[in-house]
Every structure is written in structure tokens, then in C-alpha cells.
Amino acid sequence: MASAVMKRASSTLLGCLRQSSAAARTYASLSVGTDIVSAGPNVSLQKARSWDEGVSSKFSTTPLKDIFKGKKIVIFGLPGAYTGVCSQQHVPSYKNNIDKFKTKGIDSVICVAVNDPYVLNGWAEKLQAKDAIEFYGDFDGSFHKSLELTKDLSGALLGHRSERWSAYVEDGLVKVLNVEEAPSDFKVSGGEVILGQI
Amino acid sequence: MASAVMKRASSTLLGCLRQSSAAARTYASLSVGTDIVSAGPNVSLQKARSWDEGVSSKFSTTPLKDIFKGKKIVIFGLPGAYTGVCSQQHVPSYKNNIDKFKTKGIDSVICVAVNDPYVLNGWAEKLQAKDAIEFYGDFDGSFHKSLELTKDLSGALLGHRSERWSAYVEDGLVKVLNVEEAPSDFKVSGGEVILGQI
């Protein structure tokens, strides 16, 4: 059932997006060897939190260097909270393998999306994934813009979001990078794939 | 406790936003007498739904005339799903009074926000408000732009959203309009206030 739903979701979204994707596909400036911190020197992310926590934190943000410098990070990006592939496959593929990531010495597994941190928090709680994965919002898309990983998904009523991607980043340097050909695909950006690459 | 949290949330967000709001406050073009359909002739909203329902509907949208023409509508707009005043006061003030709106002959009570329809659906389900209220997304802000009710709430990590407002609309014509002075306020846009105006 879930599989059937996914295939249907995937093929319909592909119907919307594949053609423009094929015609206008530009590969991200992000590549193996990129310093993800230097690529966005003024970029910050917003740790997922409740509105009340947002208020208590004075709406603080987290500079990229605080996330990546001196650490081994697995990060994955997806088109949006509460969408199909993201909820049913992408996040679970990391959540369910979190012990294997820790065994490999990964400091944090991070999920990032062009959503505000309160929406992302609500979704992470619904997926019961907050204990395993750190969620960060990129509410204005500036992180994904700095990596040229943005995507217009207005055809799916989402607006300007991101590609579906994953990376292994050591001390800010990209060591492994996977970007799906279309955001509806789930072939290379899942937890199992990157586990075999690090 | 909830009251204390609200006061804190309100005063901190005010701290962020009041100054710019006072300095740059521009009143909406929307006013009593406005034809809300003619104001956005090409604008559609997106009915809140799950991702799978979005796929099944082929990502359909709803033209404004289908929502407003020939109907008595109470509509309220708010800065975002999963934010404080919206979750704890604004939506409940309509949900808890839905029978009174029906007694007054209102066809639908509608909540609209600059969110995608899947996020809005997740939030409506969490608030257990879907049976009482119809939720519509304005994912690209085009509805609020057509009414000049947009607001930059980047200081609260939300980006470009909307004012907090409510209106009573008969056959597309605005009969009653309430716009809060600041989006963190909850003085004039609640369910109880508009109940006394219609």
C-alpha cells in the first residue's frame, strides 16, 4: 500500500516536474571538495523548535561554522515537511539507521529543508525523529541558494524549495555528495546509500 | 500558564516587529466594500490536504470565485502554521464558536495562511480543527499580495507572510474587516469579535 502510494506520488510529481527538470537541469555548484561553510559565509540555519522555544531563544540562528567545523556530519535536504517521499522514505532511512551512523563516528545526522523551524519541529515530532536526527530550517532558502541546490516546485504547490540530496561533510569539506535527478526520486540520497559511502 | 506564555511570545515578537511596523505601516488596499474576487482575478488558493490527497487531486487549486461567489464567508488570515498566537488563540477562537457562526447563516469559516497545503493540513489535524474550519494555503502569497496584506516576518524566522486579519465576506464583497496593528497582536481579529459584527 505504502509502496503503491509512493509510486503513484512519484510518477505524478515526475509528470509535473520531469520535463522541466530534464530541459533546465543545472548541476549544483556544490561538489566533492566544496567547503560548505565558505560557500555561504553569512548563511545561518534555524534549529527546529516550537514557537515558544523560538521566542525564548530570541529567534536565534546557527552559523554554518557552528554546525560543521571540527565535526563529521551527514546532512540530507528535501523538498518539504509533510510531503510524501520525505515523510515516508527519506527521513525514516536515516532515523532507522542512526546507530550505524554513530558506529561510523558521525557526530550528527542533520535534515534541512526550506521550511520555518516551527513547521519543521511539528513534522519532526510527528515522525518521532527528533531524538535521532537534528532538524534545521532554511526558511529563506539562503543555505540552498549558496549551494545552488534550489528548485521551483510551484507545480506541486510548494514554491521555491530544494533538490533532494545528501552529503557527508568532514570539518566543513564535502567528502560525499548525492543529488537526485528529480526531487521526487529516491534513488541516491537515502540513508542506506550514504552509509555505504562513508 | 498559557496566558503567561502568550504574553511573553507577544511582547518578544512585538519587540522584534513593533518598531518597523510603526515606522512602515501601510494600510491594506483591502477595505469594506472591496470585491475580494476582483482584487485577485487570477488568484487561487490551495485547499489543505495530505500529500497523497495532493497527488490524487493533481495538485489542483481553488479559484477565489468558487470560494466566495454566492456565499457568506468568514475568513481569517494569520502569520503561520505552528506559531504561538495562531495555534493557541486565533484558530481556537473560531473553532470553539463554530455553532454560533452557523446559527448566523455563515456558509464557511475559512483559515488562510502563507503555507503550503500539506503543512497547513498537518497543523489543522494537530489542532483538531478540520471539521469546523476550512483551511486554505496561499503558498506563494499571491492572495495576500492581491489584498496588500503581506508582511516581512523574517525577524521571527518566518519570511514573507501575512498580517493577522479577519473579514466577513458576502458574495465576494467585504462587509467587515479587522486587521491587527501588529501580527503578534490578538485584539480585533478573533472569532468573538467578528461574531459581534455580523
pLDDT bucket at A88, cuts 50 / 70 / 90: confident
Query: Among residues A23, A162, A188, A145, which one has the least CA distance to residue A83?
Result: A162
B176: number of Cβ within 10 Å: 16
**Tally of domains within chain A:** 1
H/E element holding A175? strand A173-179
Mutate to test the interface with A, among B114, B157, B160 (most CBs of A within 10 A): B157
pLDDT at B2 over 90: no
Indicate which residue of B86, B112, B113, B132 is catalytic.
Answer: B86
Residue B81 and residue A54: Cβ atoms within 8 Å? no
Q: What is the pLDDT of residue B130?
A: 96
Q: What angle do CA B135, B140, B144 make, to 5 degrees?
A: 70
- pTM for this predicted structure: 0.87
For residues B172 and A27, give the distance between their C-alpha atoms in angstroms, rounded to a whole number. 46
Check whether A23 has a pLDDT greater than 80: no
Strand ranges of the sheet holding A62-63, from the earlier edge strand across to the other edge: A62-63, A44-47, A134-137, A108-113, A72-78, A165-170, A173-179
Residues of B in contact with A9 (CB under 8 A): 51-52, 55
pLDDT at B3 over 50: no
- In the chain, the amino acid numbered A65 is K
Q: What is the mean pLDDT of residues B11-40?
A: 61
Mean pLDDT rounded to a whole number for chain B: 88
Domain hosting residue B83, numbered range: 2-195
Taking each helix axis from N to C terminus, what angle separates A117-126 and B117-126, rounded to the nearest 10 degrees? 60
Identify all chain A residues contacting B123, using CB atoms and an 8 Å cutoff: 119, 122
CATH number at residue B29: 3.40.30.10
Judged against a pLDDT cut of 70, whether residue B140 lies above it is answered with: yes
Does A99 lie at the interface with B, CB-CB under 8 angstroms? no
Higher pLDDT, A22 or B44: B44
Residues B53-61 have a mean pLDDT of: 97
- Supply the DSSP symbol for B154: G
- Return the pLDDT at A5: 34
In this complex, the residue of A12, A55, A139 whose CB is nearest that of residue B84 is A55
Q: When comparing pLDDT for B86 and B186, which is higher?
A: B186
Alpha-carbon torsion, ordered B11, B16, B17, B22, to 10 deg: 90
**Mean pLDDT value across residues B147-175:** 97
Alpha-carbon gap, residue A156 to B59, rounded angstroms: 6
Is residue A16 flagged as an active site residue?
A: no
Catalytic entry in A86, A153, A174, A177:
A86
Q: Do B16 and A137 touch (CB under 8 A)?
A: no
Mean pLDDT of chain A, nearest integer: 88
Measured over the CA atoms of residue B101, residue B141, residue B58 and residue B119, the dihedral's sign is negative
- The pLDDT of residue A10 is 42
